[in-house]
Amino acid sequence: MADEQGSINIFGDLHPYNKLFDVITKLPEKGMAEEEVLREITYMSQEENKKWQGGQCSGTMYHGGMEHYAFLNKVFSLYSFVNLLQRDLCPSGTKFESEVLAMVGKMLHGEEVGKVNPADQEAGAITSGGSESIYNAMFVYREWGRAVKGIEAPEVVAPMTIHPAHVKAAHYLGMKVVRVPVNSDFEADVEAMRARITPNTVALLSSAGTYPHGVVDPVSKLSDLALEYKLGLHVDGCLGGFVLPWIEKLGYPVPVFDFRLPGVTSISCDTHKYGYSLKGTSTINFRSKDLRRYMFFAQEDWPGGLYTAPTVQGSRSAGLSAAMWAAMVTMGEAGYLQAARAIMETSEKIRAGIAGIPELRIMGKSTFLVSITSDVVNPYFVNDYIYSKGWRMNGCQDPLGFHFCITLPQTMPGIAESFVRDLADGVTFAKDPPYDTPKTGYLYGFGGSTEGREMLRQGMKGYVEAWYEYE
């Protein structure tokens, strides 16, 4: 945030507690008292909870109920110290994970795969989050492409809106992501993607829904395309995978994106988002056990013994899996449906409100997420205004805008109405802003140019550097 002179202090913003508590840069000679540690941590946690508990924060806090979190934390505490790789010590972990995968498989209509090919059986694994689920899927396509098609320089074709986790995975795995502009509804342009398929293509990528706009790509058409070219098709359901099935069940129009489509070969789906579990779990589900097997690692000649692991992680806490299972079985279908209903009712109120503000435009046909731009005012001036009123949106670019990912904290009475009111006032503010350049959002003035992008990258790297500095 800018100080009185207007300069930005990234370091100060990242380290607000430097002024309040000792800055610890080496192990304390004598251990701190537990009460003191708890006092500091409780203070920080309570301060930070204030930022979202009022319901003004987009996404990130998917459930928000402190009683729900207390219950999950209780479950977590029973297993937090248990390592899931030591399976004999925790058969309960095996129960939790296999049952979660069975429940997620049903939610994604995994039973349909056997109807297309009786040899196939939908199968998944638990990971640490969306990025790891996506990494594992990308790895599977690389290995499958090499084994089945002899592809040594693997490429995937993706809509421009695909989450950076795919690009990051490709970066680690030596793969190429061919990113294709989306159509005017911000959905994958299937024919444009077809045109970018080469003999090195191993898979197509898609989202349900996309992070920037919350739309579901035309997965049905991509499924046909994948079958035609004998390619893999990954559906990134990290964000929408746990809420769209319930929105569909409530009767809202949701394009089919799951294993009901014969060309869909994998789906990532985050239990730690709309699954309402603790942070640190996700699922990756494949169309067949054969595909999943490419992901597994096994080494038989290590002096430490025969080592095998299903995913990138080694040791991992059984507590997270226990909490994930507990979240799902306590929510049940009724709980997920009720949550989806509340989210959609809030979303509809916000949409109706925006329809009454002619300067604003909602991008794409979305459901649980509302992505806003304007052809009349700079959306970042609107964002400046609503930010000053306590709202925390997620910035988007190409075109400039911001999105509001509706989660349970927003379903509290009055939140949708006050958001719409502030948005309307924000438009008034943006029509005649008292300064030239918006303060929030995307680095303004360089958008779209290579210099701007490079500056953003450098700035972002400096931001990460500051995480690890202590003065």
Ligand X SMILES: Cc1ncc(COP(=O)(O)O)c(C=O)c1O
Q: Where do contacts with ligand X occur on this chain (CB under 6 A)?
A: 129-131, 163, 165, 207, 211, 236, 238-239, 270, 282
DSSP 201-259: EEEEEEEBS-TTT-PBP-HHHHHHHHHHHT-EEEEEETTTTTTHHHHHHTT------ST
- Provide the β-strand partners of residue 405: 369
Shortest Cβ 277–ligand X spacing (Å): 12
Task: Using the minimum distance from each CB to ligand X, give the nearer residue, 56 or 131.
Answer: 131
Task: Using the minimum distance from each CB to ligand X, give the nearer residue, 79 or 368.
Answer: 368
Task: Using the minimum distance from each CB to ligand X, give the nearer residue, 280 or 426.
Answer: 280
Shortest Cβ 212–ligand X spacing (Å): 9
Shortest Cβ 207–ligand X spacing (Å): 5
Shortest Cβ 323–ligand X spacing (Å): 15
What does the buried/exposed string (b/e) look like for 139-177 if buried means 16 or more CB atoms within 10 Å of the residue's CB?
Answer: bbbbbbbeeeeebeebbbbbbebbbebbbebbeeeebeb
Task: Using the minimum distance from each CB to ligand X, give the nearer residue, 211 or 294.
Answer: 211
Shortest Cβ 312–ligand X spacing (Å): 12
Shortest Cβ 365–ligand X spacing (Å): 16
Shortest Cβ 233–ligand X spacing (Å): 16
Write out the two tokens for 302: 């290590």
- Cα–Cα distance measured from residue 281 to residue 72, given in angstroms and rounded to the nearest whole number: 13
SS3 263: coil
Point out the residue whose Cβ comes nearest to ligand X. 130
Task: Using the minimum distance from each CB to ligand X, give the nearer residue, 368 or 429.
Answer: 368
On whether the CB atoms of residues 278 and 72 are closer than 8 A, the answer is yes
Other Cβ atoms closer than 10 A to 410: 25
- Using alpha carbons, list the distances in angstroms from residue 286 to 17, 109, 126, 168: 44, 12, 12, 21
Task: Using the minimum distance from each CB to ligand X, give the nearer residue, 90 or 203.
Answer: 203
Q: Does an H or E element contain 70, and which?
A: helix 66-79
**Helices and strands in the chain: count of H runs, count of E runs:** 15, 13
Task: Using the minimum distance from each CB to ligand X, give the nearer residue, 131 or 371.
Answer: 131
